[in-house]
Structure 1
């Protein structure tokens, strides 16, 4: 099968978990014998007039990376304009594939879009080639803001997501929670929704049992510094944890828009000296911190999946995670980690204390989490299930889809 994957991030351009997901999926599909082309973008700061589209084959995948059409747009300030400019460049590059760009006019059998930022090029290219459109919705704007879409940009992003969902011929989500969320937000005329979990390549994550720690406990958070990731709850919990476990520290790895606010929260809770912000870590650095900490705390208030939970399990660090969305499916409470309700600081404190008080039991759960990865989260299995969705996808009759409903209330609790 000839597959055209459209994604706004693909190595070396990686913003978050989506880029890693698309990379592993593309490589596994290619390894299974499919012809895979990934249409993505070059790093920010490149423009089409001075940085032409580049294409190269890596790991069996042809990667076509476009430059930005208007380099003066800033993603954080001109999100919709920036996205449309990127989409325009992607459409031009995608159409050229069928004009002798690959071999003798390569054309896909299916187009696979990843998230709303590539809605315009993915929909246009599926229509141009007259092939099914499969979309993986990794998150929703309403979910990220608890259902409150009060800002103009928020409502615009939601509308594009709704359009992509309703224009798709099949939809994939990474968790049952996300499936329900997508159905609630974008239904009722949606195509079939398949749940296919994220995967992980365990060979790149060295497992290591915890070494006895005679000093203060070390907690670790890894993720984007955004409100929905719940870092503020981990900071609020730290003073209580330190009362029973003096000297406990929290290391925060990641970047995001809430960095300054989170630093202020550390000062408000009088733990500024006990909270360290590391910024973004490369793979080797991250693995070192995963091996050195006593537990990883993932306090998300909203989490479509939470791939860091799999990476932490692969490295052998005990998991303490909220039950938000996909985290509640990735971590089995009492078996592969300890869980608490999203936003429940008291529950977070209890789970951390139990983990620190009984390191032997915590290590047993960590081993169980690692063992589960090879059964439930193998990338080969993810690729096989995705290929089955491709094979069953048929181009639907396009009917007028009207206007989207804009939620103005909290989403149902899926914690």
Structure 2
């Protein structure tokens, strides 16, 4: 099939797990014989002089990267306007593509590409498939209190109701999307994220160092946002250190809440043992994974949790909340230890159990790694995605009214 994907992330432009997902899916589909074009963007904050639009083939995937429009818009300050400008650039590039190439399907990844994806699917007269990777309401515990959150939710609702086929990365996300966007759960296909496990194997020297008698090292890696729950790990650290003196934590990643988290570390008296190491290149992250006594993923909200797969591939013991998709990856007592989102005491107890019994932790880590080849294999996920493409049909698309914006909690959550 000829597939046109649209994504606001594609390596080396990676903000979170979405970029890794689209990259692996596109390359695997191309390897299976499909003709894949990915319409994506140049780095934020650039312009057509510093980063002109490009059209290249990498790993069998044709990448069409669009330059930012010239107005002074920034992602951090002008989110919706910046997104519309990106969509404008993608739509123009997409229409140029359609002059001599026609896809069989358009695949939109998340709300930021809604406008160009709908426009190009209609121009090509082909089905629109959409993957909902997360929701604005979910990221804010069910609240749509701010104008920009209401605007984003409206675009998500539009994409979900306009698409001819919907995909989510977990059963938890399917239930969330169905509730938020008023679509039937049975119409949504659940396709988990995958992992290329070989690239995350722990180095033998690092694996030998784990549990060698030194001070315990905990690791968090991912975006530094409120919903990732790093504040709960920092709050639990004093309790963990009472039971296991000398324990330190490395926090790898960047995000809008980094300064606040640094303040949280100071408030809990752990500034000297909680190291914020920033975004790490994969080789450095793999090295750190190989020596960590446990990877802690304390998310308050997590549509899937691709970092859990990466930790499992590296053989690192997992301690994770049961938020969203993490509960489908980490089976408590079998492939890791789990705790309720926001439960600081439960987090501390789970870490304590890992550090007290490294042999049992290693057995759980091995069980987690063993699942990767069957349950999270990209070849199978790509084949299942192609099946969604093949089954999708252009439906009737009457005009849609604006969605109602709830004044209360749209997911019935307390926070």
Same structural fold, with TM-score higher than 0.5 when normalized by the shorter chain: yes
Partner of 1:80: 80
Partner of 1:150: 145
* Residues in 2 aligned to 1:190 and 1:343: alpha-carbon distance in whole angstroms: 27
How far residue 291 of structure 1 moved from its aligned partner, in angstroms, is: 0.6
Partner of 2:286: 287
Alpha-carbon contact 1:166-1:190 (below 8 Å) kept = no
* Residues in 2 aligned to 1:370 and 1:128: alpha-carbon distance in whole angstroms: 44
1:160-202 Cα distance to aligned partner (Å, 9 max, x none) = 1111111100010000000000000001478821000000001
* Residues in 2 aligned to 1:143 and 1:212: alpha-carbon distance in whole angstroms: 37
How many pairs were matched up?
A: 409
How far residue 45 of structure 1 moved from its aligned partner, in angstroms, is: 3.0
1:260-303 Cα distance to aligned partner (Å, 9 max, x none) = 11111111111111110001000001001101110000000000
How far residue 71 of structure 1 moved from its aligned partner, in angstroms, is: 4.8
Counterparts of residues 214-233 of structure 1 (less than 5 Å): 214-233=213-232
* Residues in 2 aligned to 1:261 and 1:250: alpha-carbon distance in whole angstroms: 17
* Residues in 1 aligned to 2:29 and 2:53: alpha-carbon distance in whole angstroms: 24
How far residue 47 of structure 1 moved from its aligned partner, in angstroms, is: 2.5
**Residue 394 in structure 1 maps to residue 386 in structure 2:** no
* Residues in 2 aligned to 1:113 and 1:124: alpha-carbon distance in whole angstroms: 11
> Structure 1 residues 191 and 132, CA, compared in 2 at 3 Å: closer, same or farther?
farther
How far residue 53 of structure 1 moved from its aligned partner, in angstroms, is: 1.8
* Residues in 2 aligned to 1:192 and 1:60: alpha-carbon distance in whole angstroms: 31
Counterparts of residues 81-230 of structure 1 (less than 5 Å): 81-99=81-99, 105-188=100-183, 192-207=187-202, 208=204, 209=207, 211-230=210-229
Partner of 2:18: 18
Residue 297 of structure 1 aligns to a residue whose secondary structure is strand
* Residues in 2 aligned to 1:324 and 1:340: alpha-carbon distance in whole angstroms: 9
Alpha-carbon contact 1:220-1:251 (below 8 Å) kept = yes
Alpha-carbon contact 1:46-1:71 (below 8 Å) kept = no
- Computed over aligned residues only, the root mean square deviation of the Cα atoms, in angstroms, reads 1.5
How far residue 402 of structure 1 moved from its aligned partner, in angstroms, is: 1.6
Residue 272 of structure 1 aligns to a residue whose secondary structure is coil
Alpha-carbon contact 1:217-1:356 (below 8 Å) kept = yes
How far residue 216 of structure 1 moved from its aligned partner, in angstroms, is: 1.6
* Residues in 1 aligned to 2:52 and 2:222: alpha-carbon distance in whole angstroms: 33
1:94-120 Cα distance to aligned partner (Å, 9 max, x none) = 011121xxxxx1100000000000000
* Residues in 2 aligned to 1:109 and 1:251: alpha-carbon distance in whole angstroms: 46
Give the ranges of 4+ consecutive aligned residues of structure 1 lying more than 6 Å apart after TM superposition. Answer: none
Counterparts of residues 242-321 of structure 1 (less than 5 Å): 242-321=241-320
Greater shift in the superposed pair: 197-206 or 356-365: 197-206
Partner of 2:339: 340
How far residue 405 of structure 1 moved from its aligned partner, in angstroms, is: 2.9
Partner of 2:368: 369
Counterparts of residues 227-242 of structure 1 (less than 5 Å): 227-242=226-241
> Structure 1 residues 333 and 412, CA, compared in 2 at 3 Å: closer, same or farther?
farther
Alpha-carbon contact 1:165-1:190 (below 8 Å) kept = no
> Is there any run of 5+ residues in structure 2 with no aligned partner, and where?
none
Alpha-carbon contact 2:161-2:183 (below 8 Å) kept = no
TM-score normalized with structure 1 length? 0.96
* Residues in 2 aligned to 1:327 and 1:51: alpha-carbon distance in whole angstroms: 37
